[in-house]
Each structure stands twice: as C-alpha cells, then as structure tokens.
Structure 1
Amino acid sequence: MRTRGVIAAAHRILGAAWSQDRSRIVVAALLMIGGALAAPALAVALAWTTGRFLAGDRAGAAGAGAVVAILAVITLTAAHFAHLYYFEISEQAELAFDQELAAASNGTAGVAHQERPEQADALTVLQRESRQFQAGLEALLSALGLIPAMLLTAVLLARVNPVLLLLPLAVLPPLFTARVAERITDRGRGASSEGTRLALNLFHLATAPRHGGELRIFALRDELGRRHERAWSQAMGRLWRAQARAALVRAAGQLVFIAAYALAVLLAVRASLAGDRPLGDVVLVIALAVQVNVQVTTAVTLSQNLSRIATAQDRLEDLKELAAQDSPRQEGHPVPDRLTHGIDLEAVGFTYPGATSPVLHDVSLHLPAGHTVAVVGENGAGKSTLVKLLLGLYRPDAGRITVDGTDRRDLPTQDWRERTSAGFQDFVRYEFTLGDAVGVGDLPHRDDPAAVGAALDRARALDVLTAVPDGAATRLGASHDGSDLSGGQWQKVATARAFMRPDPLLLVLDEPSSALDAASEDALFEQYAVTARRVGEAVGAVTVLISHRFSTVRSADLIVVLGHGTVAESGTHEELMGAGGTYAQLYRLQSHAYR
C-alpha cells in the first residue's frame, strides 16, 4: 500500500509539473541527468589523469585534467541551473495542494467536520507538509539522472572487478531503514500536532493587536509565554525523540554501506598491488564508491521525500473523504420562490463530534412563514446550534427539518444557501475595503454601490461609511495599514453584510447587537422589525433572532425558550408572561436589573 502511495505521489508531482510548463521540466530534467552522469564520468577522468601522470605523459595528463575540470563544473552546477527552471513550477504545485486543502476544509455543506479534533490535527500537519513539494519535485528530477548514473557506475565497477557489482546492493539496507525511519518521524509529527496547534494558538493570542489590551490589563504576557513554551517544548520533545530514534535507524543502515565501501577499496588496492590492475583503478574505485554513496544518499532522500508527500496525500484524501460525506447537494427539489407554510423542526436532535451527550434533543417547532421568531435561553441552551441546523451548517442526528413540507436535505444546498442570510455572533472581520466587507454578503452585487449603500442603511450603519476617510473604498483593518474599527462598528458591518441579500427566505441574526450601545441597539431593532416585515411580505421569509436582551425580543411574533437542549416554552410575549414560566422569570429578573 505504501509503495503504491509513493508511486501515486510521484505521478501526482510530475503530472502537476508537466501540466504547468513542459519546456521548463524538460530542460530541468536534462540538466539533472547531465549532472548525474557527469559524476561517474568524473571518476573515469580522474583515473585517466592518474594513469597519464604515472606514465609521465604530461600533455595527456594536462588534457585529462582539463576534462576533469569540465566534468567537475558540470557536476557542481547542473543541479543549480536546473533549480532555476523548476522552483517556480514547484511553487505552483504547492499552491495547488493548498487549494485542495482549503477545498477539503471549506468546500462542504456543513461545518461539523471542522470541529473534530482529529481533523484539526490533520490540518496542522498538512499546513506544514504543503511546503514539501519542491523537495519532492527535486528528488524526482534527481531520480531521472540517478538511474542512468547508477547503471554507468555499475558497468565501470564491473570492469574493475565483477565482485564490485555487489556494492550497489549495499544500498538496500539504508533504503529500508530510511523508510522505517520516515514512518517513525511521521508518527512523531502526528503525536506532536496537538501541542503544535496549541502553541500556534497561544502565539496568535500573544501577537494579535486586538488582544493586546486584555493581555496587558491582566498581565498575561508571561503566563502565555510559559504556556507557549510548555506546549511547544512538549510538541518538539515528542518530535525530537521520534527524530532521534529515526536517526539511529538510518545510521544502522548506513553502517552496512560503509562496511561494503571499505571492502570495495581493499579489493581494488589488493588487485593493484598484485599487478592485476593499474593504480588508476584504485582512484576509479574510490571515486566510484563515493559516487555510490552519493547515489545512496539521493535515493534515501528521494524515498523520504516521496514517502512524506505520499503520507500528506493520504491525509488529504482522508480529509476529502470526510468532507465528501457532507458534500453539497447539487440536485433535488427546487427551493420555493416564497414560503407559504414555513419551516418545521420535527423531533430534531444533534450531538457535537466527540461529545457524549446531545446539545439538542427532541426539538419540535413550527416557524411560520412571514414571521419573526426570537430564540432565547441561558448560555449553552443550544441557541446557536439551532440556527446552524436551520442554515444547514449542521445536519440533525435525529429527526428532520422541512421547508414548506420538503425535507431540507432534499433541497440543492447551493440553491438553499443563496436564499438564506445570517449575521453571526462570532462574525468575521474581513480586512477588505468597506464596500467589499459588506458586499461579499451577496457576491453578484458586491460591486454595486447602491446595493452596498442600501445594506448599510438597513443595518443602521451609514455612520460607519462617514466615519472612515475614503468611504466605501476605505481599506479596513490594521494588518494593511487600513482603518481599524471599533467593536460596534465591526458588528454593524457584519450586520450590513447579512442584509445584502434582498429577499432571503431565512434571515438569521445571532446576537446582532452585543457590541452596540443601548441607543444604537434600539435603533437597530426598529430597523430589524422593518426589514423582517418587508421580506416577510415579499417572500414569506422567516427571520430568526437570537438575543440575551429580552427587551429586544418582546415584539417578535413568536418567542422560543430553549432549556436543557429542548423547547421549554414558546408563544408570544404576552402568552409567555401570562404562563409565568422560565421566560417570565428571566424577563422580570432582567427588567429588575435594568431599573
């Protein structure tokens, strides 16, 4: 299986390189072959020079020396010039690998697979391994020269003594131990991936500008430094121990070759002393034996790099297979132009990967078309999970979700996505221009100033447009010397992005005012009500609002209270207050706190 994997990796690298630029690959291959053949030819030239010198032929020795110099230059420089031809191609191959990795991670219908620890570890390893394609391409091009060079070396050795043909067999133990060593190292990389991921996360925390204030207030610099050092030391300790074991295994294989090398030189010296072979053959055998050693090292490197790339490719294929289980549906029932009945959850349950208990269970709920639904509950009640199920980012483990009576799983994923929109609590701060940061909420209209302006208006975010120096063309974020925004301004931009699509069937707003002041919050919720009524009347849209602030949800058409992973209560504000249940208690408690 591993041999097939190595062959597949070699085929993939050469295929990618060939498709990018055939002429460059051909020139690089010819240079590598020429440099490889020049090395054993150099050994012959050295033996020839030695023979001419011992025979007293000064002119012949000088000519042979010139040949030695030319072959030495070719040997030393051919690989360098080959690198000039293939390095750009290898970068393109690495880019293609990165694109495949991004597609495997984000090209799915949902996000549940991204929350599996094993995938996070695999991604950490693959992000490091994606930089190995240049070494793999170099090894493959070296192999093109290695094969004829080894054949020429074998012929030359046989001319001296047929027994020396056994010398290349000494390659086998180093090759075998190199493969074993690479497996040991790969297991070490896997074992260290969790610690590496933690260390990288801590490094990001310690260096990201947005975290600087909190780190200083709580004097966390040294604490994060200690945790980073501990995580990194543990990860590197595992990796170092694996590499140390691998080095011992490789050394054992090399010792076998060293013994064979010494024996070959002794045979040549013995034959020369006995007068059976000229003294130049001793020089030839010494030089060829060195070449065999170089060839062994090249073969070992080739094996290591290809095995490493094959392992990375296996991991990538595993990720693709995992992602394929949640691949977007391309066909199915058409998404309705408007909702007439609404969205129903029928005994829905969901458990996060690796968790032992469900976050939601037996959730049955009707979200009427054209209505605004508020979802409330304590932290951890499952509110955000519920909206991600509605959006199709998670698939229910139990039950089903229907849209106007059609199972949402039977709707083409992309078509359903195009009729939904969302503003998340953990929104992304796109460091694009302000216009792009809003416009990406509806890519076909991203460059439409009127559409972007309307979205900003619906989000009550026109003040952000006037607060930055170049309006919609202003670059946002400190990473590009742009205009950094306050937390509330970033949230307004995220909300405007959610309002870019003019007629969604499902609009989700998850804690859309958590970073806003009270006045901005009141104004924003007035606008939410206007927008919800507009899309509700136009296409029967369902607007789902999550908020901890009960004063902002009381005007919703339907209020759903989640508790212990299921629906505890549902109804209008008046109905729930009259019932005197959880909602009434929480509402009075929050109202009392604001007095």
Structure 2
Amino acid sequence: MTTLLRAIRQLLRLAVRCDARRLTRAVALLAVGYLSTPLIAVCLKSLTTAALARSAATGTWLALTTALLLVLELMMTHFAHLSYFELGELEELALQNEVISLAHGTTGLEQLDRPGFADTLALVREELPRTRAALEAVLQLGGMALQLTVTTVLLGLLNPWLLLLILAALVPVAAGNRAQLLIDRAKETAAPRIRLGRHLLELATAEASAKEVRLSGAEAVLTERQRRDWRSVTATLWRAQASAALLRAVGQLVFAAAYGGAIVLVVRQALSGGSGLGDVILVITLAAQVSFQVSTTLGLLTILQGAGRTLERLHSLRVAHRPDTAASTGTSGVPSALTVGIRLEEVSFSYPGSDRKILDRVTLDIPAGTALALVGENGAGKSTLVKLLCGLYRPTGGRILVDGVDLAEGGPEEWQRRTATLFQDFARLELRLRDNVGIGDLDLLDDDAALRQSIDAADAGPIPDQVPGGLDGLLGHSYGDGAELSGGQWQKLGLARALLRRRPLLVALDEPASALDATAEHALFERFADLATEARTDTGAVTLLVSHRFSTVRMADLIVVLEQGRISELGTHAQLAAAGGLYAELYDLQARVYT
C-alpha cells in the first residue's frame, strides 16, 4: 500500500509540473461524471416511488433528471479523457527524459557497467510506456473513491449492516495487492534471462550478425538456446500469474458472497414492511455499482501497482546515480591550451563488480603536443586507458592530471568537451547525415560549411552526394527508408564527427581503420599525421592512437606498450625496435607478412 500511495503522489506531483491547468480541468470533469452515477440510483428510487404513487409530474421531472445524469456520466468522462490522455503523454516524456539523464547524467560510465543498475535500467525502459495510463488510473481511482463515499453514505442511511458490503470490498483489494507483488518479484527474478533471450533474438536477426550466424549454421543453436531461456522465463512468470489469479479469485468470491447477502437483507426488510420498493431498487442499483466499482478499482490498482514498481525502480536508479559534485560545483580547471601535458600517477582501474585490474598502477607522462601510440595484445587495457584519458571513467586508484590539475576535480565534463574521439565501436546514428556528423560539435549542427569541411577532411566527401537529401537525408533503414552505407563509410562519418570538434586538447583514435580499405587507411593515417601537427601547433593537444598497424604506430612521437594492464615498454619506434622486447617481436611478425 505504501508503494501505491507513493506512486499516486508522484504521478499527481508530476502532472502538476507538466500542466496544472489541464489536470484541474480533467479532475473537474471526472468529478461531475463520477458523481452522476450514485445520483442516478437515488433518482431511480424516487422515480419508482413516484410511479407507485401515480405522480405523473414528479415522475416526468425525475425521468428527465435521470436522463441528464446519464448524459453527464457518459460525456464528462469522455471530455476529461481528452485532457488526461495528453497529460499522461507529457508525464511519460518527462520520465523518459529523466531516465536518459540518469543513464548519462554523470561524467563517467561506471554505473552502466554495474549489473544491478543495468538490470533495473532495462526493466524501467521496458515498463515506462505503461506509465502513460497510470495518470488516467489515478484520476479514475479518485472518481471511484468519490463514488464509493457517496454510496457508503446512502447504504448506511438505509441500513447500517449494509456498510459491511463496503468492508467486504477491501478483501479483493488486499488480495490484488498481494497478487501484484508476486508478479513483480517474478519479473525481477526473470529480468536477466529476459535480457539474454532478447539478445539471442537480436543476434539471429540483426543485419550485423545474421550473416555470420547463417554461414556458421548457428541458427538452430541460437533458436534452441532462446527457446530454452524463454521457456524458463515463461514458467517463472506463469507460476506467479497463476498464484496471483487464485488470490484475486478468492477476494472476488468474498465480495460476491457479501453482495448476495446485502440483497437478501433488503428484500427481507421490504417483505416485513421496513422499507419500500424504492429502497429495494436503490440497494440493488447501488450494490451493482459497488460491484462495478470494486472490479474497476482492482484493475486500476493493478495498473498503479505496476506503475508504482516502475517508479520505485526509477527511484533506485536515482539513488544509484552518483553525480560528480566536483565537476558540477567547482571551477573548471581545463586550460584553453596544454602547456605541460597529461600525467598518469599510479593509475589503476577495475570495472564495477569485478576485482580484476584492467590497469595496474600505470604511471606515464605525456608532454603537451605529443603524438602517442598505444600498442599491446588484445585485453592489455588499451581501450580502457583511452576511456580513462577521455574522462569516461574515473580511476579506481591513482589520478590523472591535466596541466597539473586532477581531472576528477578540475572539470571532467569540460574536459570531455575538449576531446575529439573515434572509438573502435563507433556509433552508427541512423538519423540525418547532418545529425550523424553534427553531434561532434552541436554548435555547428546547422553550419553546412563546417560539416562539409569535416566530411571532406575524413575522406568522406562523396557521401553527401550519394545520400538522397544530402546533409538532411536519412541514413539507415531502422527508422525509415534511408541510405545504407558500408562499414567503411560509417567509420569515415565517425571520423568526421571527431574532426568537427573545435580546438580539442585530446584527439583519441581507437583502431580508426578497422573498417577501411588500404587506400582509405593510407589517407586516414596521412590525415592523422597532419592532425597531430595541427593540434600541437594550435592547442598543444595530445594525439592518441591505438592501432595494430605498426606502419602507422611508428609515426608517433612516443609509443607505449601495454602488457596485462601495465606499461612494459616505452619509447620511440627506433628505441623499442632496438630493445628486442614485445614491441620488436610484434613489429617483426607484422613486417614479415609484407616482406
């Protein structure tokens, strides 16, 4: 019950913030509509009495009044729906915006790697569209409470024993609360398997993975695994639904018995001369209304209980959400240009929920203007180090200094705005071509000249001419009939986003040529060399490259070799090649392929 009341308060508070005038109008219309229902029963009683007394004039006015009340009952709720439906959509939009803020409101991404946070976030995303009907349920529940209050007064005036009918209505309400709790617990238990089942379905059907699935003949394996997981999920949910249905049925049976008893009581009272036929009509009508009110209330409570659990999960996301107060309250320590450089002091990092150190006490000085290359075998920690340098994660040990200022205290958000990146798992934004490139610097989203300049710099100049609509043309087929691009073209647009960023202090390219052909790769690395020179001259920026292509790595001023989360070698290409360590071994292996 606490969850239910809290949900009602939150939904009403949110409705007031979204549109108080529309909420007031909906409440007034619903009040008129819902009050009409018990008044109809009173009019029917009086109409019956007038008919028995053969009073034509009184009967006519009562008939007209009853007809008017029927019109109000039907029409007021309809007109109210026009207001609260739109208000419900505004509430859903507000909650969606909050979820986005909670998922991305911190400067880092650590919370997205916490299993508990990820599971809760997935449940909230799935259930959030259902909250659109939650405000409607709140308002209708208020109308039902108003009806039930008037009905209680009328029944009590007729016979105090009839008040037991109202008490009996609480039994199915309590049973419904318990039933919904069982269902919610089952959903939470099944949440990880639901996510896995959807992932398996996506693997089997998504364009990116379907070709490998087809060639490997893995359709049957994925289908069987998905069927087995969904069978387990269905069994868990079915048991909960069956138990919930049984509880609700018991509650309804208790009320049905009380309903029958109330009718018997009034009929016997009428037969003994204690009441008239009008009272019998009144009780039968009110009892029928109470039955409808209870069944409707149960349905509304089910909706609100589900919304309440969603709002509770949203609250748990708020609690788990850890804003970076240093970044939001302190003065940014990010300089306009680097003069000293970036220093890592004893930096360690482990992902949330894991004791394994991806990076272990890494100490490194990167002078301003340096073109740095990261080398190492898969899993050495290269991409993690890039994310730390970009401020997407905070070290779990040690610190990162930018011109002597701790990145965690000097403004990670501002630092992120001064980084230009292309990650190995770059985003494919199936929006307009303008949006795809423009998010690199939102201030330039509508600057066609700047967008085309960055596209040309990324060797993607022909793409706007190939996309119907040019910069305003749609990309991809997921949300419309947009232009489909190759993997290399998508990656070039990712590079264009990075190049759009003005006066960066850190340029980070993580495997930027993974989807490019040899010609495009050569052009990209020539552009990398030019970019490093430009950044060094303009802002003293550090240019960071992660690559397995040693022909490009050798262009860097400084090469760092990572091995099992630690720096094993450091120097220029000539120094490392002469040292005969891991770098020299990897370089020789790759060089032999070409010689």
TM-score (norm: length of structure 1): 0.93
- Contact 1:146 1:295 (8 Å CA) reproduced: yes
Superposed displacement of residue 547, structure 1: 0.7
Distance 1:139 1:328, change over 3 A: farther
1:137 corresponds to: 135
**Unmatched segments (≥5 aa) in structure 1:** none
Q: 2:283 aligns with which of 282, 285, 307?
A: 285
Q: Distance in 2 between matches of 1:277 and 1:449?
A: 84
Distance 1:502 1:48, change over 3 A: closer
1:318-363 alpha-carbon deviations (Å, 9 max, x no partner): 2123222446712235211221221111111111122231111111
1:504 corresponds to: 504
Q: Distance in 2 between matches of 1:121 and 1:224?
A: 22
Q: Distance in 2 between matches of 1:433 and 1:85?
A: 34
1:484-539 alpha-carbon deviations (Å, 9 max, x no partner): 11111111110111111232111100000001112221221111011101111221
Q: Return the letter of the residue paired with 1:523.
A: A
What does residue range 140-155 of structure 1 map to in structure 2 within 5 Å? 140-155=138-153
| Counterpart check, 1:265 vs 2:263 | yes
Distance 1:472 1:20, change over 3 A: closer
1:113-164 alpha-carbon deviations (Å, 9 max, x no partner): 1122212211221123212333321222223323332222122212321211
What does residue range 14-29 of structure 1 map to in structure 2 within 5 Å? 14-29=12-27
2:439 corresponds to: 440
Q: Return the letter of the residue paired with 1:416.
A: W
1:589 corresponds to: 589
Q: Distance in 2 between matches of 1:206 and 1:454?
A: 39
2:412 corresponds to: 413
- Contact 1:108 1:328 (8 Å CA) reproduced: no
Q: 1:97 aligns with which of 88, 95, 100?
A: 95
2:29 corresponds to: 31
| Counterpart check, 1:488 vs 2:488 | yes
Q: Distance in 1 between matches of 2:469 and 2:224?
A: 43
1:389 corresponds to: 388
| Counterpart check, 1:168 vs 2:180 | no
Q: Return the letter of the residue paired with 2:370.
A: H
Quote the sequence identity (%).
Answer: 46
1:576 corresponds to: 576
Per mean C-alpha deviation after superposition, the further-off stretch among 439-448 and 420-429 is 439-448
Per mean C-alpha deviation after superposition, the further-off stretch among 483-492 and 19-28 is 19-28
- Contact 2:197 2:230 (8 Å CA) reproduced: yes
2:42 corresponds to: 44
Superposed displacement of residue 471, structure 1: 4.2
- Contact 1:328 1:414 (8 Å CA) reproduced: no
Q: Distance in 2 between matches of 1:395 and 1:51?
A: 80
- Contact 1:460 1:527 (8 Å CA) reproduced: no
Over the aligned positions, Cα root-mean-square deviation in angstroms equals 2.4
Q: Distance in 1 between matches of 2:588 and 2:251?
A: 77
Q: Return the letter of the residue paired with 1:395.
A: R
1:350 corresponds to: 349
SS class of match (1:425): coil
Per mean C-alpha deviation after superposition, the further-off stretch among 249-258 and 501-510 is 249-258
SS class of match (1:82): helix
SS class of match (1:410): coil
Distance 1:326 1:251, change over 3 A: farther
Distance 1:237 1:62, change over 3 A: farther
SS class of match (1:499): helix
Q: Return the letter of the residue paired with 1:495.
A: L
Per mean C-alpha deviation after superposition, the further-off stretch among 556-565 and 290-299 is 290-299
SS class of match (1:329): helix
2:125 corresponds to: 127
1:154-199 alpha-carbon deviations (Å, 9 max, x no partner): 2221232121123212232222222222222211221222222223
Superposed displacement of residue 259, structure 1: 2.3
1:24-71 alpha-carbon deviations (Å, 9 max, x no partner): 333322332222222222223333444455556677667655554444
Q: Distance in 2 between matches of 1:540 and 1:308?
A: 54
Q: Return the letter of the residue paired with 1:494.
A: G
Q: 1:80 aligns with which of 78, 81, 87?
A: 78
Q: 1:313 aligns with which of 311, 314, 337?
A: 311
TM-score (norm: length of structure 2): 0.93
| Counterpart check, 1:253 vs 2:251 | yes
Aligned residues: 593
Superposed displacement of residue 469, structure 1: 5.0
SS class of match (1:476): coil
Q: Distance in 2 between matches of 1:458 and 1:291?
A: 73
Q: Distance in 2 between matches of 1:510 and 1:99?
A: 30
**Unmatched segments (≥5 aa) in structure 2:** none
Distance 1:333 1:433, change over 3 A: closer
What does residue range 111-260 of structure 1 map to in structure 2 within 5 Å? 111-260=109-258
Superposed displacement of residue 546, structure 1: 0.4
Per mean C-alpha deviation after superposition, the further-off stretch among 56-65 and 373-382 is 56-65
